[in-house]
Amino acid sequence: MQKLDYQPDQCESLFRQKAAGAFDLLRSLCPPTPQHHASIASGYRLRAEFRIWHDGNDLHYVMFPPGEPRNPHVIDEFPIAAPRITNAMTPLRERLQRSTELRRKLFQVEFLSTLSGELLITLIYHRPLDDTWRANAQALSESLSCKIIGRSRKQKLVLDTDWVEEVIEVGGREYRYRQPEQCFTQPNGFINQKMMTWLLEQCATTNHDLLELYCGIGNFTLPLSHQFRNVLATELSKAGTAAARWNVETNRTTNIELARLSAEEMTAAMAGERPFRRLADLKQPLGQYQFDTLLVDPPRAGLDEATLRLASTFKRVLYISCSPETLSPNLATLSATHDIQSLAFFDQFPYTHHLESGVVLTRKAT
């Protein structure tokens, strides 16, 4: 994580500036007036990671300016983090300093929190961890009322669980999510709720099916499942897929099927180019789904050409993007078959150039 230029009084104006820049990239596609969903100015980030800088028997959390890996900036306060993280940072550092066993060759600290108040701390080392470390870490866990994981090369020691449980209310319903350590989850919980709500508002109840690519732990899958007859959601990450299955079962959702496939593999399956054993256990064959809506939430690289061709065959495409620079050419390609019906910008990462976008595309009349 890089050092942040924290300007709480400028939070919304900075968001408006980068949203305007993103809108300029899309202007030639004649998009509608976008919605703007600003973040709270502080206490929003549910994940944080810091390098540890050793100074004799003292240690500090540090970040590095872009391109300056040898210029550590000491972080005494981190107000953008969720309260559960900020409240733990100082007592954690003090306890690490007092314990030779916990401090020795500690390289990095990672925090994972939730809106529901859970906290998991991962301590990463440049040395093997043993039972002595475990005993000290257990005492640390109890003193901070949090979960602790120790990591080193080819080693992972889990004292409690390697996940936290989140509870999110969307559209009048509560959803429980298992969020594993080192598995992607939305870092800004407040904006995540706004994104979920916005997606729900775009989807009237239908008797058709939804195909979702890059579903992760089922973040959007669960609330959207109420709007469709069936949902087939795919995710390549083994840990993400396992968490999504737990989330589906725990929330007693019966119309969601999950498959551990990449977007490219699912595109090949939809085109009939090859069969996949990971689709063999579906309750109904792939060909019996009646898809009319596609949801994609790709990484910063955006959609590949084959997935864009697949998207062009759908009546409606819901596109969640974390990069306006790759969203723009993707939408330019889809503009041959689809019009932009709705557009929204979400400030998932205040004080940075990063911007989350939501786009609804509908197929042009023929």
45-66 pLDDT, tens digit each: 999 999 999 988 889 999 988 8
Per residue in 337-363, pLDDT tens? 999 999 999 999 999 999 999 999 999
E strand residue ranges, 239-314: 256-259, 291-296
- Provide φ and ψ at 292, rounded to 5°: -130, -10
* Cα gap 209→282, rounded to integer Å: 14
Confidence at 68, pLDDT banded by 50, 70, 90: confident
Residue pair 154/133 in contact by the 8 Å Cβ criterion: no
Confidence at 293, pLDDT banded by 50, 70, 90: very high
What's this model's pTM, rounded to 2 decimal places?
A: 0.94
**Can you give the pLDDT at residue 2?**
47
Per residue in 210-258, pLDDT tens? 999 999 999 999 999 999 999 999 999 999 999 999 999 999 999 999 9
Widest distance between CA atoms in the chain: 72
Per residue in 177-217, pLDDT tens? 999 998 999 999 999 999 999 999 999 999 999 999 999 99
Active site residue 356: yes
Q: What whole-number percentage of the chain has pLDDT above 90?
A: 90
Per-residue CA distances from 243 to 8, 213, 219, 247 (Å): 35, 16, 10, 6
**Can you give the pLDDT at residue 343?**
98
Per residue in 109-127, pLDDT tens? 999 999 999 999 999 999 9
Residue of 181, 212, 265, 356 marked catalytic: 356
Q: What whole-number percentage of the chain has pLDDT above 70?
A: 99
Class of domain 47-163: mainly beta
Is 3's pLDDT higher than 80? no
Active site residue 118: no
Per-residue CA distances from 352 to 1, 183, 293 (Å): 12, 22, 32
Q: Chain-wide mean pLDDT for the chain?
A: 95
- Provide φ and ψ at 171, rounded to 5°: 60, 35
Q: Name the CA dihedral angle for 91, 94, 95, 97, rounded to a multiple of 10 degrees.
A: 160
Is 274's pLDDT higher than 90? no
- Provide φ and ψ at 142, rounded to 5°: -70, -40
Residue pair 184/192 in contact by the 8 Å Cβ criterion: no
Per residue in 74-90, pLDDT tens? 999 999 999 999 999 99
**Can you give the pLDDT at residue 4?**
65
Confidence at 17, pLDDT banded by 50, 70, 90: very high
- Provide φ and ψ at 32, rounded to 5°: -75, 170
Quickly name the fold that domain 8-41+183-363 has.
Rossmann fold (3.40.50)
- Boundaries of every domain in the chain: 8-41+183-363, 47-163
Per residue in 118-162, pLDDT tens? 999 999 999 999 999 999 999 999 999 999 999 999 999 999 999
Residue of 183, 203, 215, 322 marked catalytic: 322
**Can you give the pLDDT at residue 1?**
46
SS3 74: strand
Q: At what angle do helices 324-334 and 11-26 cross, to 10 degrees?
A: 30
Which H or E run includes 37? strand 35-37
**Can you give the pLDDT at residue 70?**
83
Query: What b/e readout covers 99-117, taking b as 16+ CB neighbours within 10 angstroms?
Result: beebbeebebbbbbbbbee
